[in-house]
Structure 1
Amino acid sequence: MGGRGFLMEPDNLLLDQYILSQAHTNVPKTCFIPTASGDADNYIEKFYETFNKLTCEPSHLSLFSPNFIDLKAYVLQHDILYVGGGKTSNMLLLWKEWELDTILKEAYEKRMILAGISAGSICWFGEGVTDSTSGTLSKIDCLGFLTGSNCPHYDGERNRRPSYNELIKSGEIKAGYAVDDGIALHFKNEELSASVGSRPTAKAYVVNRKANKVMERELPVTYLGDRKQ
């Protein structure tokens, strides 16, 4: 997800409900991973406040105040892993220290649902655009479960679009997907299956370089507000 979600839009849970609807169980065990925010208390509290009202069994994973005995067993008992936003670089470093990156790879291979917003979107790709390393928007190497690059907040932060375009034009970052706030990309078997939105005007793009020019191809987006809830 490029942005928004339950923290920013508590009255618009279309994307969060879409994630839950992908589970092959009526009450999916849904684990929130707020590492990128430093396990911010208000973020975790908002998660429980929201997801306790939805049809799921919510829990969270803390690496700052560990709430588990066996990390691997704790993670793999869930149906959905939902990664929150924040500082991508800090998150990835801490995941590597705890070897959570390898556990997440196993979760992916077990066909668990992996989701996330902002930093929690970037992390699944080979590369992403982040401001968490130098304070300016730059490339970051990520987990690589999905090929190419990812740029969230394409319309939500004014520097995102020109920075991503320049990184692609220069060849510093690979071609990939850019999404406005309120857009989610749904991948199955490393292939884009659907683009869905919680805002009727939000857009998603494939962005690449051709003949030293940056090309944006707009993707079809299904507005979830048109579906019966």
Structure 2
Amino acid sequence: MTAPEPTILATSGGLRVGGRTRVLFDALVHHAVDLSGVHGRRPRIMYVGTAIGDAEHFTARATEAARVAGFDLTPLHLFPMPNLEDVEGAVLDQDVVWVMGGSVANLLAVWRVHGLDRVMRRAWQAGVVLTGVSAGSLCWFQGGATDSFGPELRPVTDALGFLPYGNGVHYDSDEGRRPLIHRLVADGTLPTAHCTDDGVGLVYRGTELVEAVTELPGKGAYLVTREGDRAVEQRVEPRSLPPLSH
């Protein structure tokens, strides 16, 4: 069971602190599973932690979050070598691929060395729902603003480009991101940018933005377009996802 057409859910959220566990998958991750159309069995979700160097402690937390959610989770590690014999087969066998945040620049470099960029494109075209947070959102676009190179935000313009837009993440919680996105769109470094406050996700069918959704109240999504030599921002009100019971 896969989504009926190529589907991406690009987010600035999806995780929350648990009561008995350190991390839970929040409504955005559950929405990605819903978008896959899986039913009649446990959802299969792949966790990809490349952007934080496949940190084992977070793999353990994601595994626990999946257990609580009722998902079957497969971690994909690329450090120190791929942990799966058939990476492409494993990716294509998932309902959802969820990519952790961290360094998008490092993620892109490591994925390309291992050919995972091409695998992800094939999975996307096959209907595996691609999703993730922060770097796990930026990677699907043309580029955006990143702290991969240090605390001062810099542009990244060589992301995977499945979606022909710029992407702004953590739009309301990192004060440097909005002005940099505006500048990059205004000077043509980035195309039209789609941006998310923390807790917000953007749903794409093919390359078309079809909906903004949120797991937190009062949050927004934004379209930043170029008009002449300036950037113009339009707010998009997201649909509130139902809260989770656990």
Matched, 1:173 2:213: no
CA separation in 2, counterparts of 1:183 and 1:24? 21
Residue equivalent to 1:158: 175
Q: TM-score, normalised by structure 1?
A: 0.93
Residue equivalent to 2:78: 63
Matched, 1:144 2:161: yes
8 A contact 2:142–2:164 mirrored in 1:
yes
Q: Deviations over 1:7-44 (max 9, x none)?
A: 56746711121112122222221000000010112221
Matched, 1:5 2:11: no
Q: Percent identity?
A: 30
Matched, 1:21 2:37: no
How far 1:134 sits from its partner (Å)? 4.9
Greater relative contact order (CA < 8 Å, ≥ 6 in sequence): 2
Structure 2, gaps ≥5 residues long:
1-9
Q: Deviations over 1:173-212 (max 9, x none)?
A: 2221011010000100111111000111110010012132
CA separation in 2, counterparts of 1:92 and 1:111? 22
SS of equivalent residue, structure 1 residue 207? strand
Taking structure 1 as reference, are residues 227 and 159 closer, same or farther at Cα in structure 2, changes over 3 Å only?
A: same
Q: How many pairs align?
A: 229
Q: Deviations over 1:40-88 (max 9, x none)?
A: 1222111111111113211110000432112212221211111110000
CA separation in 2, counterparts of 1:94 and 1:226? 35
How far 1:222 sits from its partner (Å)? 0.4
Greater shift, 8-17 or 19-28, is seen at 8-17
Q: TM-score, normalised by structure 2?
A: 0.87
AA in 2 matched with 1:19? A
AA in 2 matched with 1:163? L
Matched, 1:44 2:53: no
CA separation in 1, counterparts of 2:17 and 2:187? 33
SS of equivalent residue, structure 2 residue 164? strand
Q: Deviations over 1:133-158 (max 9, x none)?
A: 35422221110111111010000111
SS of equivalent residue, structure 2 residue 15? coil
Q: Deviations over 1:80-101 (max 9, x none)?
A: 1111100001110000000011
CA separation in 2, counterparts of 1:109 and 1:117? 20
Structure 1, gaps ≥5 residues long:
none
CA separation in 2, counterparts of 1:125 and 1:38? 21
